Amino acid sequence: MTQAYATNGFTNGYGKAPEVPQHYNNGSTNFSFNPFAEFPIITQYDQRKQSARTELRDSLYTKVKAEMNDVPAAQAAGSTLPLVQLRKDEEAGEYNPFEHRKVAHPTTNTETLVHLLKGSLGSGILAMPLAFLNAGLWFGLIATFAIGIICTYCVHILVKCSHILCRRAQIPSLGFADIAETAFLAGPDGLHKWSRFARFIINLFLVVDLIGCCCVYVVFVATNIKQVVDHYYSVDLDVRVYMAALLLPLILINLIRNLKYLTPFSMVANVLIAAGMGITMWYILTDTPSVSERHAVADFKQWPMFFGTVIFALEGIGVVMSLENNMKSPQHFIGCPGVLNTGMAFVVGLYASVGFLGYLKYGEETKGSITLNLPTEEILAQSVKLMIAIAIFLTYSLQFYVPMEILWKNLKGNFNEHRNAAEYSLRIGLVILTVGIAAAIPNLGPFISLIGAVCLSTLGLIFPSVIEIVTYWEDGMGRFNWRLWKNILLILFGIIGFITGTYVSVIEIIESHL
């Protein structure tokens, strides 16, 4: 049995904090050990509080191989405290993680479905017509549903692995990065030392993905505002000027640290997006040309751009585990029909419809955001651009919240004094970074495709498949190793999308600057 030791509350049976061996003490307040060493890992030790902490449920996980009996865990008063054990499935007994979850305000199935739709429906829907331009009308329709099914299946994989690992670790719930770390801790012996690296990689790609989304939001807002201003004032300022003008308002709104105070912004954004999309669909459905006037299948060289854009639009895997962990009936999240299947069926259908009809309407003139195709001389169309721009601006702070939390959680231990100043400085610095990146890559279409290809092909396809392989490795891969071969195919699909999507997007970005 693979064992993991945790100090939860950081005291032993005698009311004392675990002593840290002298060779662990480097005389500083905070320190970390090599995560690949064969010794117990103390992630962070605070001499003033005599406590240690890691990211995994505020517990210190010290992994010890069963055969390494000569390597002790942190001891206190001569006793070793195995507080958490990673069990095999047959050893997990009747432990049901759902029964042990203590959620202050659990969400119903309907509430979770609404949150799933809000988390999955973003600015990506406005880029779907451009995706169809890069795929063709009919191929794009079929491929969108295919990619949607694959993405949904990979979310199923992640959630099922979470349930298995919760039983093995006797833990009620796990986040995305927790799942990766626990899978490697509970997996084959040779992978134990990579557990913290697995957590780091998941968090890294989550941060890059969400920061990238914030950059896309800046480009989107600035481009829509520019189009309206250019029409009324006959000026042709560079879009970067509008990005610079957005910097101060973005900094101010992102100094809000409490998510509760961001809720009103979310509500206003939802109303504006709904109204804006309604008017946009009215324009799209007016005087629609025949399908024979559009390409059924585009040049295959454009397909990687389609892949990156669609997976950027569809993939809401960053919010999935948070939603499932806060459900009143988490067993209803997956299954048939299940909250996940119901929500993703609606999302994929809506995205496919907008992409199909938008490309059918505007053809080769389709732009990075469908709102940019609306007539500039009509007040109603101008109002849509402003409504959507304001909505995306307000949504920026919600998108910014998660990467900020991940980064600050890992950095705040380095600041014993002036912690508030350090946090505000980080917030301001990240906002400036997103605006700077947006100014460097102001081309909306390739930027969206790049973020989708780099981050979401990994988070949505590759990582869940790797986690399932590691989770099931010692218990078998099924008849003819079908689970292994299936995941290898998913990983290859993700790698191909990653490489081709990144390459084509980067080339497109470079060419747009020449």
What is the pLDDT confidence band of residue 128, given thresholds at 50, 70 and 90? very high
Asked if residue 35 and residue 129 are part of one domain, the reply reads: no
What is the pLDDT confidence band of residue 250, given thresholds at 50, 70 and 90? very high
Per-residue pLDDT averaged across 106-117, rounded? Answer: 85
pLDDT score recorded for residue 88: 60
What is the pLDDT confidence band of residue 376, given thresholds at 50, 70 and 90? confident
What is the pLDDT confidence band of residue 374, given thresholds at 50, 70 and 90? very high
pLDDT at 407 over 80: yes
Q: What is the dihedral of CA 420, 421, 423, 424, to 10 degrees?
A: 110
Total tally of structural domains belonging to the chain: 2
Q: Which of 85, 117, 149 is the last residue before a domain boundary?
A: 85
Asked if residue 321 and residue 451 are part of one domain, the reply reads: yes
Asked if residue 432 and residue 320 are part of one domain, the reply reads: yes
Residue 99 lies in a domain: no
pTM of the entire structure?
Answer: 0.78
| Residue 293 burial (CB count, 10 A) | 9
Bridge partners (DSSP) of residue 145 are: none
Q: Which of 30, 55, 85 is the last residue before a domain boundary?
A: 85
User: CB-based contacts of 400: which residues, under 8 Å, 6+ apart?
Assistant: 210, 214, 254, 430, 431, 434
Q: Which of 85, 116, 148 is the last residue before a domain boundary?
A: 85
Asked if residue 111 and residue 36 are part of one domain, the reply reads: no
CATH (domain of 237): 1.10.4160
What is the pLDDT confidence band of residue 354, given thresholds at 50, 70 and 90? very high
pLDDT at 59 over 80: no
CA 134 – CA 364 distance, rounded (Å):
10
Asked if residue 149 and residue 56 are part of one domain, the reply reads: no
What is the pLDDT confidence band of residue 231, given thresholds at 50, 70 and 90? confident
Residue 483 lies in a domain: yes
Per-residue pLDDT averaged across 32-49, rounded? Answer: 38
CA 504 – CA 308 distance, rounded (Å):
10
What is the pLDDT confidence band of residue 37, given thresholds at 50, 70 and 90? very low
pLDDT at 273 over 60: yes
Residue 97 lies in a domain: no
pLDDT at 54 over 50: no
Residue 94 lies in a domain: no
Residue 227 lies in a domain: yes
pLDDT at 319 over 50: yes
pLDDT score recorded for residue 195: 92
pLDDT score recorded for residue 91: 56
CA 169 – CA 87 distance, rounded (Å):
6
Per-residue pLDDT averaged across 328-354, rounded? Answer: 90
What is the pLDDT confidence band of residue 373, given thresholds at 50, 70 and 90? very high
Asked if residue 297 and residue 231 are part of one domain, the reply reads: yes
What is the pLDDT confidence band of residue 83, given thresholds at 50, 70 and 90? very low
In whole numbers, what is the pLDDT of the chain averaged over residues?
81
pLDDT in tens, 149-182: 999 999 999 999 999 999 888 888 898 999 999 9
Asked if residue 117 and residue 56 are part of one domain, the reply reads: no
pLDDT score recorded for residue 447: 87
Residue 96 lies in a domain: no
Three-class SS state of 222: helix
- Quote the domain boundaries for residue 236: 107-513
Asked if residue 116 and residue 76 are part of one domain, the reply reads: no
Asked if residue 277 and residue 164 are part of one domain, the reply reads: yes
Residue 92 lies in a domain: no
Portion of the chain with pLDDT greater than 90, in percent: 46
Asked if residue 112 and residue 35 are part of one domain, the reply reads: no
Asked if residue 196 and residue 70 are part of one domain, the reply reads: no
Residue 377 lies in a domain: yes
Asked if residue 346 and residue 218 are part of one domain, the reply reads: yes
